[in-house]
């Protein structure tokens, strides 16, 4: 396993919720990453993240790791959940909240 794969694997497996994104939660650098950050913030979910723009190795590494071509990528309890479109659709349908709750991750009650 390469160093970047080891780093990715460690982050995914040691954090309940992990987001690989362009930019940071305070300063997303693409609209799709920004949307996922907004959803997680709205739900009050505690998560960690990595900025894939820091190195080409990380940006390509996460695509190879998940076999998924786009960023952002959200992982819950070590499992790849999806990118922006999937996360948005799950959120709108109420499925994302249920997914978090089923994984034992508290979410803020929504109206």
Return the DSSP state at 21: E
Q: Are 22 and 55 in contact (CB under 8 A)?
A: no
pTM: 0.95
Give the pLDDT confidence of 65-111 residue by residue, as tens digits.
999 999 999 999 999 999 999 999 999 999 999 999 999 999 986 54
Question: Which H or E run contains 76?
Answer: strand 73-76
The class that CATH gives domain 3-102 is: alpha beta
Give the pLDDT confidence of 25-56 residue by residue, as tens digits.
999 999 999 999 999 999 999 999 999 999 99
The mean predicted confidence, pLDDT, of the chain is 95
CA atoms within 13 A on the CB side of 25: 15
Q: Are 85 and 70 in contact (CB under 8 A)?
A: no
**Distance between CA 30 and CA 14 in Å, rounded?**
26
Structure tokens at 68: 């998924």
């Amino acid at each position: 396993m390469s160093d970047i794969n080891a780093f990715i694997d460690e982050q995914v497996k040691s954090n309940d919720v992990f987001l690989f994104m362009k930019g940071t939660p305070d300063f997303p650098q693409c609209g799709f990453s920004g949307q996922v950050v907004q959803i997680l913030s709205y739900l009050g979910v505690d998560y960690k993240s990595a900025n894939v723009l820091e190195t080409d190795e990380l940006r390509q590494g996460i695509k190879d790791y998940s076999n998924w071509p786009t960023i952002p990528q959200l992982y819950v309890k070590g499992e790849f959940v999806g990118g922006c479109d999937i996360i948005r659709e799950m959120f709108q349908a109420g499925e994302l909240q249920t997914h978090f709750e089923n994984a034992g991750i508290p979410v803020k009650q929504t109206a």
